Structure 1
Amino acid sequence: MKQLNYIDLFAGAGGLSEGFIRAGFNPIAHVEMNKDACDTIKTRTSYHWLKENKKDTIYYNYLKSDSKNKEKLWENIPENLINSVINKEISDETLPEIFEIIDKEIDTNKIDLIIGGPPCQAYSVAGRARKDMDKDPRNHLYKHYVKFLEKYKPKMFVFENVPGILSAKNGEYLNKIFKAVRNAGYEVAIPEKNYLNSKDFGVLQDRKRVIIIGWKKELYLKYPEFEITQNNFNIKNDLFSDLKPLKNGQGTLDAIEYVKPTTNYLKQTNIRNGLDFVTQHIVRPNNDNDLEIYKIAVEEWNKGKRLNYATLPPRLIKHNNIHAFTNRFQVVNGNGISHTVVAHIAMDGHYYIHPDKKQNRSISVREAARIQSFPDDYFFEGSRTAAFKQIGNAVPPLMAQKIAEKIRDMIWKNT
């Protein structure tokens, strides 16, 4: 079957793209405004090219290096692949330049798919509470997405966002998106229950996302049906058990060995995919006040309760508002699946406390990446904080792969 080409818009750290690459798609370009995320995609692009050309030892040596030189790694792959990662904000001013960069690399008739989703904070309930929606330029980024559809005329597209997009301005923004893509020549649909949940795709995380799928009107397609993956795995025994126990502020960005054999879940999902080491298992430091709260939170969780911030001993309460966000300290469910990992994890780890009271800390960068189903050889460029942000904003690759496989089959059957 012919190789299918795609463009990834608002690409982030490449979680959505990783799933499509696994399903056999070929990325023509990634467009992303955040430099650290772009650097991550360049490094992951290097991994895929080196692996395909049986030079993956170069990549693994990079992961093992204590002083990583990403530019030197990137020199090992064709320059056009590095240049295809476009570090630009998508706007009226930058669109001509972005189109020019892409057009240098491809025959513009050969784009089969466009994927991606504008920054989700714009449509989130919290984001709407802080800003006037019409004045927030992020709420209008879908118009730029549509311009890519109009120029490259892909057979299909995938537009990902948070459930808040369904209710934003009582559905007005969703209707605007639907109208715009229909005017561009596409039919469009969302799931029957309006969103997909990553836990139904084998990801150990309760993460709801609106996945809008569109296709050229002449293809007469319909929204794909996804089989629900039933899993009996949990965070503590199946996802975290082989990682070195850490205390608050411990760990390293560099390579360290696993402390236990792999698990069936890690093998089935290719999260732990053959290496004898892991990177970025590093934890942020906390003050004594927070650490005492963490202990109480885990104790409450072990009794089957979530910690209510307002019930803490007065000496531990540092926020004046004890009536809102009373769940600001949350424990990751070690005996089940995690609650949603969001970009706020870059600010603090209070919402992601490790379930092991002995470790008394928030989760590490690698643990967050695993909850999102990123493989252990996926390296996030930038600082620890930058890595957390990239992970929190990402689409789980395991979920993305199963969506991509459906999209691939739909295109193949209709071309």
Structure 2
Amino acid sequence: MTKPVQLVDLFAGPGGLGEGFSSIRRPDRSRQFKTLVSVEKEASAHRTLTLRAFYRLLLDSDRGMDAYFEYLQGGKHPSSRDDVKDLWLEAEQEALRLELGGEDGNHALEERLHQGLDHDRDWVLIGGPPCQAYSVVGRVRNRGNKSYRPEEDKRHFLYREYLDVIARFRPAVFVMENVRGMLTSRVGKERIFGQILEDLRDPVKATGHEGPEGCSSASEYTIFSLKDDRVYFPRTKGLFNTPDPLEEHEYNSFVIKAEEHGIPQARHRVILVGVRNDIVKGVGVQTMATSLKVDSTDDEKRTVEQAFIGLPPLRSGLSREDSYEAWHEAIKRVATKVANELRSQPSEHLEPEDRKRIAAELKEIAETPHEELPRRHVPNGKPRPVGPTTELEKWYHGAQDPNTKGLWYNHEARSHMEKDLARYLYCATFAKVMGYSPIGTKEIYLDYLAPMHANWKTGKFADRFKVVLKDQPSKTITSHISKDGHYFIHYDPKQCRSLTVREAARLQTFPDDYYFEGNRTEQYVQVGNAVPPLLARRIANKVVEILERAQRGELQQPHSKVLQA
């Protein structure tokens, strides 16, 4: 049996990119990719990463999944069970907690790769260097700091730790993910993205590091777009085979829009795929570019409602003295208050008839008995009358028994102040009636709903309450969801709350048996920073295709030619 392709995952977070690659199986059910090492510095994300490594090892063994699911339901940690302790120790060897960019972390990773990598076989490097320096929000924050100097911000150059691994160990393919802001980020007057492309093209020249004995002698790469097979770097011109820089408008060809690939979320990220040039030359650059293009899955985009199918409804909580009765009374109180104000206070932006419709919906919520919803889902494993049927449902279900339901983890609603309940209830009801989320102070105009911020009507607080609409892909799930839920309000007014960790994870396409360690704030951060695993799987399938082409020795077609964008 052919050995799986070795995978190295840097800056792994909770493991979304690695999960997509690891999910691919061959016809004989063996894995196409096997993670040699994944690296993450944050403690709770590293625990998640380790637990998922254990999950995969257990799933591939003949020992059943009890040790995993019993832990998720409050049982013994796998490390304390004699029957699976060896697998846990193996998971710990796979998932390393290291901070790259420092001498100790870099040395530990290098030692692990020297020991573990099989240089006689092709291997793949994946990862997403930290993005705070590139993100639009981060750059706005930096502009407010008079002493900030981009050229002194080490976060701009953490991609070089990724680059060092490429230079030293020469993967056949690498996949690098980052925020869209990387395309426009500047150090001095120059856009940094052009330099990143050039460095990735020739990592040995960029770093000065030569590869160890036994690794490929080829050291240069071609960087491909997954979106447009006419865009790759370097293209060449003239007689001297010199790199022809891409035009800045072509940079957008490296942006993947997740909603166009079966992901129920409008997440736009830069994803670069580099292929070692000995492989590119063997297959042909245009054939390679065409093979790597990830086509849209279908014309119909996945919606939030599709992503949430089957998840049990929950109520929010009250920040003080919470109980179902107290929460229900608060909902009736704020619904009545907002409905009355809507009827009595005119608006420059809402028609009187629309105000009446929203007020009527709120009155009905206040006067209709509520189902007594829980705050937290308790996994119960009840029999399932019908198993998952759609591709998305099956993906979410993971390794759970298809004949059972009720095993959802990290599904617990936040507590909110009563005034926030009023805002969430109004916004969700508005979206239900009007079909879109209310726009800032123009449509959240009632004095009762105004937060206690001096700049509520200006600046970043002016449009901070948003509903995740059920009939569309979600807006981008970001780590800010850990701060508050204002930008991620559930579409169902009767639940009156922000999204749970599990709902955010569903929008990111993590399977339901993917458990996030840490406290709830840490869990939100992990989910918000991750790459959607289902999107990663689609990319991984393309990587498999080009590796198989290379292994079959498919040569460049005689009449293929480089297309110019």
TM-score tier by shorter-chain length is over 0.9
- Residue 379 (structure 2) aligns with: 255
Greater displacement, 281-290 / 74-83? 74-83
Question: Partner letter of residue 415 of structure 2?
Answer: P
Higher alpha-carbon deviation: 20-29 or 100-109: 100-109
More displaced, 397-406 or 134-143? 134-143
Q: Following TM superposition, by how much is the alpha carbon of 1:232 offset from its aligned partner in structure 2, in angstroms?
A: 5.6
Corresponding position of 1:281: 411
TM-score of the pair, normalised by structure 2: 0.69
Letter in 1 for 2:314: L
User: Which of 309, 312, 321 in structure 2 is aligned with 1:244?
Assistant: 312
CA offsets per residue over residues 168-222 of structure 1, 9 Å max, x none? 1176211121111122221213343331111122111111111111011222244
Q: Secondary structure at the match of 2:184?
A: helix
Cα deviation, residue 407, structure 1: 0.5
Q: Does 1:204 align with 2:239?
A: no
Report the CA distance shift for 1:76/1:361 in structure 2 as closer, same or farther (over 3 A). Answer: farther
How far is 1:62 from its partner? 2.7
> What per-residue deviation string (whole Å, max 9, x for no partner) do you get for residues 221-273 of structure 1?
4441112112464322x222322211113544752457996664465551024
**Where do 1:256-271 residues align within 5 Å?**
256=380, 264-265=389-390, 269-271=394-396
Which segment drifts farther, 204-213 or 172-181? 172-181
Any gaps of 5 or more consecutive residues in structure 2?
25-31, 143-147, 204-219, 229-252, 318-373, 552-565
Structure 1 letter corresponding to 2:454 = N
Partner of 2:198: 179
1:68–1:382 CA distance, 2 compared to 1 (3 A): farther
Distance in 1 separating the partners of 2:424 and 2:174 = 43
1:195 corresponding residue in structure 2: 255
Structure 1 segments, 4+ long, off by >6 Å, are: none
CA displacement at 1:105 relative to structure 2: 3.1
Q: CA deviation at 1:374?
A: 0.5
Query: Is 1:294 aligned to residue 427 of structure 2?
Result: no
- 4-13 or 185-194: bigger deviation: 185-194
Select the structure of larger CA radius of gyration: 2
1:26 aligns with 2:45: no
What is the match of residue 354 of structure 1? Answer: 490
| CA separation of 1:353 and 1:68: change in aligned 2, threshold 3 A | farther
Output the CA distance in 2 between the equivalents of 1:78 and 1:111.
27
Which 10-residue stretch deviates more, 309-318 or 25-34? Answer: 309-318
Asked whether the equivalents of residues 40 and 96 of structure 2 are also in contact (C-alpha less than 8 Å), the reply is yes
Within the candidate set 419, 432, 440, 1:309 is matched to: 440
Shift of 1:67: 5.1
262-271 vs 381-390, greater mean Cα deviation? 262-271
Query: 1:274-302: CA deviations, max 9, x gaps?
Result: 35222111111111111111111112222
Summarize the alignment of residues 14-413 of structure 1 with structure 2, pairs less than 5 Å apart: 14-23=15-24, 24-66=32-74, 69=77, 71-72=79-80, 75-77=85-87, 79-93=89-103, 94-110=105-121, 112-131=123-142, 132=148, 133-169=150-186, 172-184=191-203, 185-190=220-225, 191-192=227-228, 193-220=253-280, 221=285, 222-223=288-289, 224-230=292-298, 231=300, 233-236=302-305, 238-249=306-317, 251-252=375-376, 255-256=379-380, 264-265=389-390, 269-273=394-398, 274=402, 275-276=404-405, 277-302=407-432, 303-310=434-441, 311-315=444-448, 316-321=450-455, 322-325=457-460, 326-413=462-549
Identity of aligned residues (%): 30
Letter aligned with residue 255 of structure 1:
P
Structure 1: runs of 5 or more not aligned: none
Kept in 2, the 8 Å contact 1:198–1:399? The answer is yes
Q: Taking structure 1 as reference, are residues 188 and 72 closer, same or farther at Cα in structure 2, changes over 3 Å only?
A: same
Structure with greater contact order relative to length (CA < 8 Å, sep ≥ 6) = 1
CA contact (8 A) 1:243 1:260 kept: no
CA contact (8 A) 1:47 1:56 kept: no
Match of 1:340, SS state, is coil
Q: How many residues align?
A: 414
Over 3 Å counting, the alpha-carbon distance change for 1:76 and 1:254 in structure 2 is: farther
CA distance in 1, matches of 2:106, 2:467: 43
Post-superposition offset of 1:314:
2.8
Supply the distance in 2 between the matched residues of 1:343 and 1:194 (Cα, whole angstroms).
23
Inter-partner Cα distance in structure 2 for 1:81 and 1:64: 17
* Structure 2 counterpart SS, 1:330: coil
SS in 2 for 1:29: strand
Distance 1:150 1:87 in 2: 22
- 2:4 partner amino acid: Q
Q: Give the SS at the match of 2:182.
A: helix
Per-residue deviation, residues 63-115 of structure 1 (Å, max 9, x unmatched): 55325635336725062331221101101412112211333333355451100
Q: Which moved more, 1:210-219 or 1:266-275?
A: 266-275
Letter in 1 for 2:260: D
Distance 1:125 1:44, change over 3 A: same
Alpha-carbon distance change, 356 to 265 in structure 1, aligned in 2, over 3 angstroms:
farther
| Structure 2: distance between partners of 1:261 and 1:362 | 29
User: How far apart, in 2, do the equivalents of 1:173 and 1:239 lie?
Assistant: 36
Match of 2:214 in 1: none
Q: In 1, Cα distance between the equivalents of 2:524 and 2:378?
A: 16
Structure 2 counterpart of 1:247, one-letter code: R
Structure 1 distance, partners of 2:180, 2:314, is: 35
- Secondary structure, counterpart of 2:113 in structure 1: helix
In 2: Cα distance, 1:406 partner to 1:305 partner: 36
Answer whether contact 1:309 1:317 (CA < 8 A) is retained.
no
Tell me if structure 2 keeps the 8 A contact 1:349–1:363. yes
Contact 1:309-1:327 within 8 A present in 2 as well: yes
Q: TM-score if structure 1 supplies the norm length?
A: 0.93
Could you give the per-residue CA deviations for residues 387-415 of structure 1, whole angstroms, max 9, x where no partner exists? 11110001111000010010111012113
Instruction: Give the CA RMSD over aligned residues.
Output: 2.3
Aligned with 2:491: secondary structure?
coil
